[in-house]
Amino acid sequence: MATTTFLSAAAWQFTIWTNAANANANANANSKGDGSGTLAGIFLPSSLSPAGDALPDFGKFSAQFLRFDELFVLGPMLLWLGYVYGQAKRQHVIKVSWINLLGMGVMALIGMGPGATLALGWMYREEILAEMREKEALRLEVVAKVEFLLKENGA
């Protein structure tokens, strides 16, 4: 999982830096005003069939499809992780404040992209679930010992 997280973060950084370089190089030569030089123009979908194009070419269609995929698959998964963290906070498993948790998530999203952020969030989720299982196992062990002692003392 670490390898795919690293590759996702590297792809994100490559996209960010090459977009910045291309935007600077094409700033005067190509001023369409279509938002293609912005991060929103790269990562947020406009439509699958741009206005005026009856049948977009395969490359444009694929790019738009991947933008929709990123928005409608990774977005809900990140939201789901937020729900998991909320449940863990209600059970007092996570001691980190919401501000710190959201801050780390936003920083990871900006620095590494949604794919790597999701992978890191998922690994943190697994750590939380392991801690929850450990607490439950300890609780069950204590209950079993107490029941044994009560039976032994005839209570």
- Which residues, at least 6 apart from 148, have a Cβ–Cβ distance to it below 8 Å? none
What is the number of structural domains in the chain?
1
| Residue 33 domain flag | no
Domain-embedded: residue 90: yes
Q: Give residue 107's pLDDT.
A: 92
Domain that holds residue 80: 2-17+56-128
Q: Is residue 117 part of a domain?
A: yes
Residue 60 counted as domain residue: yes
> What global pTM score does this model have?
0.65
Quick one: DSSP state of residue 154?
T
pLDDT tens-place string over residues 40-84: 666 677 765 555 555 567 777 777 787 788 788 888 988 998 898
pLDDT of residue 42: 67
Classify residue 72: in a domain, yes or no: yes
Residue 148 belongs to a domain = no
Say which residue, 149 or 73, is predicted with more confidence.
Answer: 73
Query: What is each CA distance from 67 to 2, 62, 102, 107, 143, in whole angstroms?
Result: 24, 9, 23, 21, 52
* Amino acid 33: pLDDT: 46
- pLDDT band, residue 99 (cuts 50/70/90): very high
What is the CA angle 51-55-60, rounded to 5? 80
- Give the rounded percent of residues in the chain with a pLDDT score beyond 70: 75
Q: 3-class SS at 79?
A: helix
- Assess if residue 102 is contained within a domain: yes
Q: What H or E segment, with its residue span, contains residue 65?
A: helix 58-69
What torsion, rounded to 10 degrees, do the Cα atoms 139, 141, 142, 144 define?
Answer: 120
104 belongs to a structural domain: yes
